[in-house]
Amino acid sequence: MLLSDENITQIDLSYCEDVLRSFVKQTENLYGTEYCTFNLPILLHATTCVRNWGPLWSYSAFQFENYNGILNNLFNGSNRVVEQIKSRTLELMEIQRRGKKMFKNTTAQDFFRSMMWSKTFAKQSRKTSDDIIFLGPFKKYSFSVEEQRKLHDVFGMPLAFGDSFRRCIVHGKVYSRSDQATAKRNNSVIATNDGKMWLIHKLIYIGLSGGKGVAIASRIHGQPSIVNSYLTVVTQIDDAWSFVNLTEICRQKFILVEVADNKFKYLIRIPNVVELE
């Protein structure tokens, strides 16, 4: 993670170089020869790459590998593959150009862009005036009396109903309710601009002044780890809940990790805010 941070010092590079060299040397004894694959010695060159070109995320090959999947859908059969890809690419570029020129209505533009996406992430969505996007199916949500009182403190007016979603996108990053967390999708922790951490229980879209987004969340308390600057040891997750205005989420992202049958919980800081979901 240190080599993917936004600020890396020469001391950091020297430390990583020593640790990676030690790991490569001990891999066979620790894990067996079956783990001594071609990728293992590549780790020895990681710090050199960072010295020459910057953090690892800045030249990740993922985007290029992902685009190979897109190119794979631009031809049929094995005859004249390059010509097929070229023709289809030029066709798509022309459609994009004409679409931007022809569609002036905002609704038509949004529909055109959705049709041109290579992937459809959700059939239903809502977008707020603050560029927060709620994704997927939703249910009507009726606020309790206590919730209405707390919402009044946030927005200054009584609100009775909203739409409850499973996921939303804020600052280009996906967040979901804690009951939707999986091993691959661990994104139910939000950090606000005042330095507080929260565990999301519900994500609510409110049809107010162009649309607003709030999370019903519990405060997470913790202590920074003395051995790793990326770790925060969770000391308590409040039973009480609060409304968090989604516009107050900062760009830094964290994931919650539970070990030893939930006996210990840690917050892990993602090393940079550049990479998207």
Does residue 69 form part of some domain?
Answer: no
Of 182 and 228, the structure prediction assigns the larger pLDDT to: 228
In this prediction, residues 133-143 reach a mean pLDDT of: 90
Asked if 159 and 258 sit in the same domain, the reply is yes
What pLDDT digit, counting tens, does each position of 10-40 carry? 999 999 999 999 999 999 998 998 889 888 9
263 in the same domain as 131 = yes
If asked whether residues 170 and 233 sit together in one domain, one would say: yes
Q: Are residues 100 and 183 in the same domain?
A: no
Lowest mean pLDDT among 103-107, 162-166, 260-264: 260-264
- The answer to the question of residue 105 being in a domain is yes
67 pLDDT higher than 60:
yes
DSSP the chain: -GGGSSS--HHHHHHHHHHHHHHHHHHHHHH-GGG--TTTGGGGGHHHHHHHH-SGGGG-SHHHHHHHHHHHTT--SSSSHHHHHHHHHHHHHHHHHHHHHH--SHHHHHHHHHHH-SS---S-EEE-TTS-EEEEEEEEEEPPHHHHHHHHHHHSS---EEEEEEEEEETTEEEE-GGG--SS----EEEBTTS-EEEEEEEEEE-STT-EEEEEEEEEEEEE-SS-TTEEEEEEE-SS-EEEEGGGB-S--EEEEEETTTTEEEEEE-S-SSS--
Residue 14: per-residue pLDDT: 93
18 and 112 fall within a common domain: no
Q: Check residue 65 and give its pLDDT.
A: 73
Q: Of 117 and 269, which is predicted with more confidence?
A: 269
CA-CA-CA-CA torsion sign (94, 97, 102, 108)? positive
pLDDT for the residue 8 = 87
- Report how many domains make up the chain: 3
pLDDT tier at 122, thresholds 50, 70, 90:
low
Residues of the chain above pLDDT 90, percent: 34
Q: Quick check: 126 pLDDT over 50?
A: yes
**Same domain (yes/no): 22, 146:** no
Q: Is residue 218 a contact partner of residue 224, using CB atoms and an 8 Å limit?
A: no
The answer to the question of residue 275 being in a domain is: no
For residue 247, what pLDDT is reported?
92
Q: Do 142 and 263 share a domain, yes or no?
A: yes
Percent of the residues in the chain that have a pLDDT greater than 70, as a whole number:
90
277 falls within a domain: no
Task: Please determine, for residue 150, whether its predicted confidence score (pLDDT) is greater than 80.
Answer: yes
The reply to whether 104 and 180 lie within a common domain is no
Q: Are residues 130 and 255 both part of a single domain?
A: yes
Is residue 188 a part of any domain in this protein? Answer: yes
| 84, part of any domain | yes
pLDDT in tens, 43-61: 999 999 899 888 887 776 6
What does the pLDDT read at residue 257? Answer: 86
The residue from 35, 62, 89 where one domain ends is 62
How far is the C-alpha of 161 from the C-alpha of 148, rounded, in Å?
A: 9
166 and 83 fall within a common domain: no
Domain enclosing residue 98, as ranges: 74-116
Which of 6-10, 24-28, 141-145 has the lowest average pLDDT?
6-10
Backbone phi, psi, residue 219, to 5°: -70, 135
* Strand-pair partners of 162: 141
Written as six digits, the tokens of 143 are: 């606020």
pLDDT digits (tens, 9 = 90+) for 183-192: 667 889 999 9
CB of 261 closer than 8 Å to CB of 270: no
Task: Classify burial at 232, counting beta carbons within 10 Å of its beta carbon; exposed 0-12, middle 13-18, buried 19 or more.
Answer: buried
Same structural domain for residues 143 and 222? yes
Under the banding of pLDDT at 50, 70 and 90, the label for residue 277 is: very low
Residue 68 lies in a domain: no
pTM: 0.67
Specify if 156 maps to a domain: yes
Residues 107 and 161 in one domain: no
273: confidence class by pLDDT, cuts 50, 70, 90: low
| Average pLDDT for the chain | 85
Beta bridge partners of 220: 197, 237
Q: pLDDT-derived band of residue 62, with 50, 70 and 90 as boundaries? A: low
